[in-house]
Amino acid sequence: MRKNLPVQFYSVMMLLVMEMKGLLDKIITGCTEKGWIDPSDAEWVRYGLERLVATVCGFSAMLLIGLLLFPFPAALAFLGSLCFLRKRTNGFHAKTMAGCFLSSIGIELLALGAVYPFLSASISAILLTFSSMGVLVLAPFRHPNFPLTEREFAANATGARARLLILLVLYTAFSWLQWEDAARGISLGIATDCAMLILAYITKKGETHHEKH
């Protein structure tokens, strides 16, 4: 029964995502018809709302699956560090809510299921070093469907570095305390964020901070 819970929860969340998409369509259409939203801004508003819904649903599913299938400290540290850092770095995003939800689950299963078991302390430190360098070089990434002012973009660049520093301090503290699962979870979270930035850069669906300047 416990093993079937992630599958059941995944099905329920997918159904919820699809229902929410239909509801968002009606809300955006209604607001546009009433003049509350300018037609030129409709797609931007839709994208922002879809991203919020997908983030909430995806994080809920990832948290449950992570806590049920993987070590609690590792799953919590991985999800926490990834979401904390990605808030400022941005990166690759799927085109639809369903795609975002599916990719979120896939990323977690790949990271915690396929990579985490092979992370020794030394490999984790090497991964952390190179992925941190990648984040510093590539973050933040400007998504075309989520426009930012130059001031907001610069704030994200500063925020990304500050959040990376916080995670590096936590990683060092957890390693010193010999909380290896939590330390490796943070390392994996930063590496995953870096991978999403690289993917966004490769697909050229936006603009990096360094390209802008």
Predicted pLDDT at 178: 94
Q: Name the residue among 32, 102, 110, 35 with its Cα closest to residue 66.
A: 110
Q: Residue 197 in contact with residue 91, Cβ under 8 Å?
A: yes
Predicted pLDDT at 42: 75
- Cα–Cα–Cα angle for 171, 174, 177, rounded to 5 degrees: 150
Predicted pLDDT at 129: 96
Predicted pLDDT at 207: 47
Structural domain span for residue 125: 5-212
Predicted pLDDT at 23: 77
Phi, psi angle pair for 24, to nearest 5°: -65, -40
Predicted pLDDT at 123: 94
Distance CA 76, CA 19 (A): 28
Predicted pLDDT at 14: 63
Per residue of the chain (213 residues), what is the pLDDT tens digit?
Answer: 444 555 555 566 666 666 677 777 788 888 888 788 887 777 777 777 777 777 777 777 777 777 777 888 998 999 899 989 998 998 876 666 667 667 777 777 788 888 888 899 999 999 999 999 999 999 898 876 666 778 888 899 999 999 999 999 999 999 999 999 999 999 999 999 999 899 888 876 544 444 444
- DSSP symbol at 205: -
Distance CA 183, CA 75 (A): 11
Please give the tally of structural domains in the chain.
1
Predicted pLDDT at 32: 83
Q: Residue 82 in contact with residue 192, Cβ under 8 Å?
A: yes
Predicted pLDDT at 7: 56
Extract long-range pairs of 65-71: CB within 8 Å, 24+ residues apart.
65/6, 65/9, 65/10, 65/105, 65/108, 65/109, 66/108, 66/112, 68/2, 68/5, 68/6, 69/6, 69/112, 69/113, 70/112, 70/113, 70/116, 71/181
Q: Name the residue among 96, 126, 119 with its Cα closest to residue 22.
A: 96
Q: Is the pTM of this model over 0.85?
A: no
Give the orientation angle of helix 180-203 with respect to helix 150-176, to 10 degrees.
150
